[in-house]
């Protein structure tokens, strides 16, 4: 067992799929928790190099494995024997790296041809262009690239299937990409149909619109609309275990560039031209009005803080991955899809601050990043960029002194023995970067409101740390 002996300690960031090995190693005191998986991999390289024995890291599915990639690439290039253990499932889209890289529909485009790169972008996919040129050289190609359009036969088939039936319009973020808001509102009126949204499709049609019934899926409150419909017209929406927690009886017509679910009819095209065609010649559907339901609000400190922040802030808000994510998604009411920016399918810890930095370069409004203390520790170095570029970014750190979400899903009462505690004060770090810093006790939501309003007016880089107790957010009925 020479090898096993030398695979100690393991470097790791915890995640839902890793609880068993992670907790066992923590109990044996054979674990060093890092804040990111790339640094876990580099630490493993250091351990392997210094001992001339293999070393190991644990990286959670999807974003964890993705963060580990630079370290794995380094080990490949330098011939260093490191082992990366992950619990990534190969049959789910949510938080998975390998299926999305391997699937035929969602293959990563790697090309020397700018036209091919432009085609990928037009389909809302990333591209790797292996040619050193400036990005603006792609613009002419982008202008001449259109996503696939529906054929007349396809449009007629959709019309036929909607005829005389109770239709629900399921709106995903593909409708934002297709700039379809206005068509959607008018079509819902013409068809007498309710609109429901995937989590990522929120705000494409304003959430206060009388025909918008809210969110469907694992954490949604409008699933009954899908249950009662005869036909679901899913537009630019993902159909997965997250968006359709139970398979509906209704017929599903999916109009999307990225089909990944149980559709009876699939049109692989841009939803906007189909909407325009249906508006020109609408089918006679059966009018109906489902019951309107609202989600229950949890009695949690973190919920009140997040809700206060979302009400106080006028500009765009980014979310991280952690206990605040479901709470913010519950408290938010959007009138446009870019008011709230979050990762629906990948959910990497450390997303909110860099995403806010990026957003602030393309909107005149100040941007608020909401993050946990773990998320902040993962990418706080980007505060240096925010300060250097003088960007109007405010970071709200919800400090519960732990990796709360993973501690909770691992079923632990105490984060400390598992290395999931976070003693570092984020406010001290923020001071080192030279931002405005505010420390707040949990019950000062009135003060939080005022501080956020001031920060938005002042446009100075600001970090607000709110102290929170350890508390558990309600988990969805079905595992993600």
Ligand X SMILES: Cc1ncc(C[n+]2csc(CCOP(=O)(O)OP(=O)(O)O)c2C)c(N)n1
Interface ranges with ligand X (CB under 6 A): 13-15, 37, 60, 63-64, 67, 320-324, 347-349, 372-375, 398, 400, 402-406
Burial class for 137, CB neighbours closer than 10 Å (0-12, 13-18, 19+): exposed
Of 117 and 349, the one with the shorter C-beta distance to Mg ion is 349
Of 138 and 403, the one with the shorter C-beta distance to Mg ion is 403
With CB under 5 A as the contact rule, the residue among 37, 373, 382, 456 that binds Mg ion is: 373
- Min dist CB 36 to ligand X, Å, is 7
435 binds, options ligand X, Mg ion, none, Cβ within 5 to 8 A by partner type: none
Q: Is 51:78 a contact under the CB 8 Å cutoff?
A: no
Minimal CB distance residue for Mg ion: 372
Tokens 């790697």 correspond to what residue?
Answer: 110
Q: Is 174:271 a contact under the CB 8 Å cutoff?
A: yes
60 binds, options ligand X, Mg ion, none, Cβ within 5 to 8 A by partner type: ligand X
Burial class for 298, CB neighbours closer than 10 Å (0-12, 13-18, 19+): middle
**Cα separation, 170 vs 167, whole angstroms:** 10
- Min dist CB 456 to Mg ion, Å, is 24
Q: Which stretch binds Mg ion (CB under 5 A): 198-206, 272-280, 364-372, 455-463?
A: 364-372
Q: Which two tokens stand for residue 113?
A: 């041809």
- Min dist CB 373 to Mg ion, Å, is 4
With CB under 5 A as the contact rule, the residue among 404, 415, 426, 461 that binds Mg ion is: 404
- Min dist CB 317 to Mg ion, Å, is 18
Q: ∠ at Cα 218 (259, 413), nearest 5°?
A: 135
**Cα separation, 285 vs 156, whole angstroms:** 14
14 binds, options Mg ion, ligand X, none, Cβ within 5 to 8 A by partner type: ligand X
Nearest to 383 by CA among 457, 437, 450: 437
What's the Cα-to-Cα distance from 405 to each of 89, 145, 317, rounded to whole Å? 20, 42, 21
- Min dist CB 306 to ligand X, Å, is 10
- Min dist CB 97 to ligand X, Å, is 11
348 binds, options ligand X, Mg ion, none, Cβ within 5 to 8 A by partner type: ligand X
Of 275 and 464, the one with the shorter C-beta distance to Mg ion is 464
**Cα separation, 281 vs 14, whole angstroms:** 53
- Min dist CB 12 to Mg ion, Å, is 17
According to the binding rule CB under 5 A, does residue 400 interact with Mg ion?
A: yes
Binding site for Mg ion (CB under 5 A): 372-374, 400, 404
């Amino acid at each position: 067992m020479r090898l096993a002996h030398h695979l100690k300690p393991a470097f790791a960031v915890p995640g839902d799929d890793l609880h068993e090995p992670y907790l066992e190693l923590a109990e044996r005191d054979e674990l060093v928790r890092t804040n990111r998986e790339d640094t876990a991999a580099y630490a493993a390289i250091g351990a392997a190099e210094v001992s001339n024995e293999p070393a190991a890291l644990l990286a959670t599915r999807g974003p964890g494995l993705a963060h580990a990639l630079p370290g794995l690439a380094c080990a490949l290039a330098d011939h260093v024997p490191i082992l990366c253990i992950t619990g990534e499932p190969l049959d789910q889209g949510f938080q998975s790296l390998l299926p999305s890289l391997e699937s035929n529909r969602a293959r990563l485009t790697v090309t020397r041809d700018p036209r091919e790169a432009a085609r990928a972008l037009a389909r809302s996919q990333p591209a790797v262009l292996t040619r050193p040129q400036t990005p603006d050289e792609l613009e002419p190609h982008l202008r001449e690239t259109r996503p696939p359009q529906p054929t007349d036969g396809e449009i007629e088939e959709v019309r036929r299937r909607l005829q005389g039936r109770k239709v629900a319009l399921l709106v995903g973020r593909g409708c934002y990409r297709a700039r379809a808001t206005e068509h959607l509102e008018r079509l819902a009126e013409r068809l007498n149909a309710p609109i429901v949204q995937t989590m990522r499709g929120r705000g494409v049609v304003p959430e206060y619109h009388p025909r918008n019934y809210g969110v469907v899926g694992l954490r949604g409150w409008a699933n009954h609309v899908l249950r009662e419909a005869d036909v679901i017209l899913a537009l630019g929406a993902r159909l997965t275990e997250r968006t359709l927690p139970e398979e509906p009886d209704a017929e599903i017509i999916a109009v999307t560039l990225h089909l990944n679910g149980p559709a009876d009819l699939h049109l692989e095209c841009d939803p906007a031209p189909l909407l325009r065609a249906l508006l020109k010649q609408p089918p006679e559907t059966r009018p109906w009005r489902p019951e309107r339901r609202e989600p229950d609000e949890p009695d949690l400190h973190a919920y009140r803080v997040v809700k206060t922040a979302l009400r106080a802030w006028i500009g765009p808000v980014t979310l991280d991955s952690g206990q605040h994510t479901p709470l913010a998604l519950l408290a938010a009411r959007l009138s446009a899809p870019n008011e709230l920016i979050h990762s629906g399918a990948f959910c990497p810890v450390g997303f909110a601050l860099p995403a806010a930095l990026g957003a602030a370069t393309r909107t005149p409004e100040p941007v608020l990043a909401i993050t946990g203390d773990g998320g902040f520790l993962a990418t706080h170095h980007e505060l240096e960029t925010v300060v250097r570029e003088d960007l109007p970014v405010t970071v709200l750190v919800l400090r519960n002194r732990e990796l709360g979400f993973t501690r909770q899903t691992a079923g632990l009462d105490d984060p400390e023995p598992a290395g999931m505690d976070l003693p570092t004060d984020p406010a001290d770090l923020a001071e080192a970067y030279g931002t405005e810093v505010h420390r707040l006790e949990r019950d000062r939501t009135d003060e939080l409101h005022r501080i956020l309003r001031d920060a938005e007016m002042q446009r100075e880089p600001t970090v607000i740390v709110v102290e929170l107790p350890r508390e558990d957010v309600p988990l969805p009925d079905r595992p993600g």
